[in-house]
Chain A
Amino acid sequence: MSQTLAINERQDFITTKGRQKAHLKCDADSIAGCVSQRACVYCGARVVLNPITDAIHLVHGPIGCSAYTWDIRGSLTSGEELFRNSFSTDLKEQDVIFGGEKKLSAAIDKLAIKYNPKLIFIYSTCIVGVIGDDLEAVAKAAAKRYGIQVIPVQSSGFIGNKSAGYRAACDALFRLIEPADRTMVGKDKSINYLGDFNLAGEAWIIRDYFRQMGVTVNVVLTGDASSADLKKATRASLNIIQCAGSMHYLAGRMEETYGIPFMQVSFLGLHDTADSLRRVAAAIGDKEVLARTEALIDRELAVTAPVIEDYRRKLAGKKAAVYVGGGFKAISLIKQFRELGIEVVMIGTQTGRQEEYDTIHELASDGTVILDDANPSELEKFMTEQQADLLVGGVKERPLAYKLGKAFIDHNHDRKHPLSGYVGAINFAKEVYSTVCSPVWKYVRSGDEGCE
């Protein structure tokens, strides 16, 4: 579709490494009329808070917002499963005209009695933002009635994009973690792990590494977290963040208010995993931890490296396109693909931040197309022009890639194996191999050479 770039306003959001400007525009509103792959504020807030296992996530709005987010995230739990249900006030015409506060209050009453939860999140949706229901007042009254925490999430869809939803979720979390006893703040020699949602059990893998290193993980935000775990969050002396897009803001607020420092990590790929583990060990500063960390890395590499090498021989020379939600994942994927001998020839995100795009630009090879908030025709154009063999993306990108005869990997809600840590690196390589080298492509592309 050659007319793709007819949207002049989109030019600033796309660049080619080595040929054009180094900076690209990001974190701006999408242009009206684009087939954007982005979601809304509510979606952003919901995906961040949803993994909290023992909370009731009550969506205050018409039925859709709750129906589309019912158990879609694939976050695993070791405790309660309450979060996997879908609760909605199912607003009707009458409620829109006369206000929905009464209905919300009645819904909380029912749920508080039926499920006896410790924590209820009430999500605001577009319509609630317009009719102006006072969620704070309803929440406050309900919290008092039942002696539980009821926290409103200010996530009306139109107040920004998905990033604004991440912030709304972080604000809600910030209220939740407020310690009753400030004297305990930062007192534990433990860490919080921010920005892992325990998809396919990923947070459990990382927790286990830290256990082997002798580092205590206080709480993961928010994968497999309970409200009681989260209330102890401020006791940790260090925050490490993986998904910066969603959690950087919370880490910043925790540093500002409680003096808890934070560092960026990533457990995608062999290089980043080892590097992250070492940096956390160094921050802890304990000699034994450092030694155990090196031992852990050696142990894991001894098993993993030969497997990766094996896949590398089969996959070397293939080309990948990446279109994911946040910047950290994009950055790690460039490196992880290199471990497999694969060059990333197109890379973009829905909500990457400026500094992340700078890093991506630095890491990318010359000729790589970098783009923010892409739409399907742009993805099509660049995947085709750049001759990518594979796309990494989310739900909506999958059939698009397939239609173009490209292999695909879900690196979002629909991933079925963990992609984090050493075991994740093996899963990733295996998945890349099984999709890129599947015999089905022979029926799509005549003359396809396939893999070795």
Chain B
Amino acid sequence: MLDATTKDIKERTSGGMINPAKTCQPIGAMYAALGIHGCLPHSHGSQGCCSFHRMHLTRHFRDPIMASTSSFTEGASVFGGGANLKTAIKTIFQVYNPDIIAVHTTCLTETIGDDIPNIIKTAEIPEGKLVIHTNTPSYVGSHVTGFSNMTKSMVNYFSEATSDVKKEQVNIIPGFVNPGDMREIKRLTRAMNAPFIMFPDTSGVVDSPMTGEFNMFPKGGTTQAELADTGNSKITVALGRFAASDAAGQLDKKCKVPAVTLKTPIGIKATDSFLMTLRKAFAYEVPYELEEERGQLVDIMTDTHFHFHGKSVAIFGDPDIVTGMTEFVLSLGMKPIHILTGTPGGAVGSAVGSFEDDIKELVDMAGVKANIQASGDLFTLHQWIKTKPVDLLIGTTYGKYIARAEDIPLVRVGFPVLDRSVHSYMPIVGYRGAMRLIEMISGALLDRQDRDAADEDFELVM
């Protein structure tokens, strides 16, 4: 299928994408909004947007994904979508009765210029219910931007500093990660004895247990009261510059809660720095339980390091995840030589900064020469791999075409993973997440070695 990909790389000036490594903002906003308790995400646009996002999220999480749509028609596009949104709000509260509706826009409604705050103001909203919104023009950024925007809107709508004295609690913004990762970050924080509020928190929403009943609003999600109380916390820890730092910055601006932005805690170094940040903020000692886990991880890393050393890797996906993975594979002695994200580098003036600079710093320190690109596509990644082959590909399901064409093993990490299950329940963050990644990576490399070994080289013990 990828036969047309040539080694010969020509600069592309058309700006189009061949086999994208990103998708559009609204799906990120929808996912973030699912992390609010009792919230129904609402897509203000054509029916297809909502349907595509639900389909994509359903395939990744294998759980029902609920969201409503303004169901645009030609008339709404010409005369504005105000009437549609008002009807939608009325219908949703009447029929589905969520506590909160979280509206996000689409390219269509951004372009026709619907003024969402004003429409919400004049909509019929029952007592005690709430409608929040965020702007997610699909032609800016990526799904990661959309997640960041909706999370920032949670601060705008909910966070309140009700006292001058801050509480001994930490806000944790986990970024665009799986519920399994959110659960692990919460477990680590609990083990540190640090009171916390995580937002958004999709655990218990998109990984809900089987009860034989369908619950449109499952038990999980950050509650309104918790979201409001984020303004009283002593500190905010944003995990991931692209998906989490904007909301943390806004919380500082609005409620004077100082923000620390860290890498997504993938691997030993980033997990250390997450725990050290909590330790510094609360002066708690790291409990033995976590020290033991860390020791086990180091033990595993030493036990297996010879499997990894010098192996070349290509990594693609969302910027926060790719940054964390790059740092982690470097710590194993691997060589990440092609590193790419589809998400653009970050808007000018935002706290997000540059993906390419971050990665360059990491690989430079390790003395690895790498191809690095933000805003890239998988066609480019494939060309890089053809020019300079790798032993392993790490990325989303969309990497499987390249993996097959070039016959390299693929370790599935990030969003979306559409062809395997259980991944969303299992963490890649924290020490235990790092152990799981080592299992996945060494499993992939050794299975390959077994497959390719000549009879006389095929060994029982590896």
Contact = CB atoms under 8 A, between A and B. Distances in A.
Contact of A66 (B15, B20, B72, B208): B20
B72 A158 contact: yes
Contact of A377 (B54, B95, B213, B401): B95
Contact of A106 (B2, B14, B106): B14
Contacts of A376: 64, 66, 214, 216
Given A68-B55, A380-B214, A40 B70 contact: no
A157 B46 contact: yes
A35 B55 CA distance: 12
Contacts of B47: 30, 36, 38-40, 157, 161
A29 interface: yes
Contact of B15 (A40, A106, A402): A106
A396 B58 contact: yes
Interface string A392-410: 0001101110111100000
Interface stretch (B133-141, B179-187, B429-437, B452-460): B133-141
Contacts of B52: 39, 43, 64-65, 68-69
A338 B84 CA distance: 42
B355 interface: no
A4 B91 CA distance: 11
A282 B53 CA distance: 46
Contacts of B142: 63
Interface stretch (B107-115, B160-168, B282-290, B315-323): B107-115
B350 interface: no
A92 B68 contact: no
B108 A7 contact: no
A87 B17 contact: yes
Given A29-B73, A158-B72, A444-B212, A84 B95 contact: no
Contacts of A84: 1, 401
Interface in A341-389: 376-377, 380
Given A41-B48, A43-B52, A93-B139, A396 B212 contact: no
Interface in A69-98: 69-70, 81-82, 84-93, 95-96
Given A39-B52, A158-B46, A377-B95, A85 B107 contact: no
B210 A403 contact: yes
B96 interface: yes
Interface in B100-120: 106-108, 111-112
Contacts of B423: none
Given A127-B108, A130-B77, A36 B51 contact: yes
B426 interface: no
Interface string A319-336: 000000000000000000
A119 to B, nearest CB: 15
B18 A127 contact: no
A34 B68 contact: yes
Given A64-B49, A398-B58, A445 B212 contact: yes
B216 A157 contact: no
A31 interface: yes
A215 to B, nearest CB: 32
Interface in A28-71: 29-43, 58, 61-70
B449 interface: no
A134 interface: no
Interface stretch (A109-117, A286-294, A303-311): A109-117
A405 B212 contact: yes
Contact of B24 (A6, A62, A107): A62
B95 A158 contact: no
B85 to A, nearest CB: 7
Given A64-B24, A87-B16, A399 B210 contact: no
Contact of B214 (A40, A91, A404): A404
Interface residues of B, number: 83
B311 interface: no
Q: Which one of B12, B26, B68, B208 has the greatest number of beta carbons of chain A within 10 Å?
A: B68
B139 A92 contact: yes
B307 interface: no
A91 B87 CA distance: 30
Interface string B61-80: 01111111111111011000
Contacts of A403: 63-64, 208, 210-215
A1 interface: yes
Contact of A67 (B20, B67, B88): B20
Contacts of A444: 210, 212
B214 A90 contact: no
B45 interface: yes
Nearest to B378: A86
Q: Which one of B18, B95, B142 has the greatest number of beta carbons of chain A within 10 Å?
A: B95
A159 B22 CA distance: 26
B262 interface: no
Given A30-B71, A33-B91, A395-B55, A40 B22 contact: no
B237 interface: no
A38 B59 CA distance: 16
B216 A377 contact: yes
Interface residues of A, number: 78
A129 interface: yes
B88 A33 contact: yes
B19 interface: yes
B424 to A, nearest CB: 12
Contacts of B70: 32-33
A103 B16 contact: yes
Contacts of B67: 35
Given A43-B51, A63-B142, A158 B91 contact: no
Given A40-B47, A66-B20, A107-B16, A126 B95 contact: no
Contacts of A402: 210
B343 to A, nearest CB: 10
A131 interface: yes
Given A63-B138, A63-B142, A398-B58, A1 B216 contact: yes
Nearest to B109: A126
Nearest to A4: B95
A83 to B, nearest CB: 9
A106 B208 CA distance: 47
B337 to A, nearest CB: 24
Contacts of B85: 32
Contacts of B66: 35, 376
B64 A63 contact: no
Q: Which one of B1, B47, B92 has the greatest number of beta carbons of chain A within 10 Å?
A: B47
A257 interface: no
A85 B91 contact: no
Contact of B49 (A40, A63, A89, A107): A40
A3 interface: yes
7 contacts: A39-B48, A40-B49, A64-B107, A90-B20, A106-B13, A157-B47, A396-B65
Interface of A: 1, 3-4, 6-7, 29-43, 58, 61-70, 81-82, 84-93, 95-96, 103, 106-107, 109-111, 114-115, 125-127, 129-131, 157-161, 376-377, 380, 395-396, 398-400, 402-405, 444-445
Interface of B: 1-4, 12-20, 22-27, 40, 42, 45-56, 58-59, 62-74, 76-77, 84-85, 87-92, 94-97, 106-108, 111-112, 137-140, 142, 208, 210-216, 342, 398, 401
Given A32-B71, A88-B17, 10 more contacts: A3-B94, A6-B95, A40-B49, A64-B23, A67-B23, A68-B56, A81-B3, A89-B15, A396-B64, A403-B212
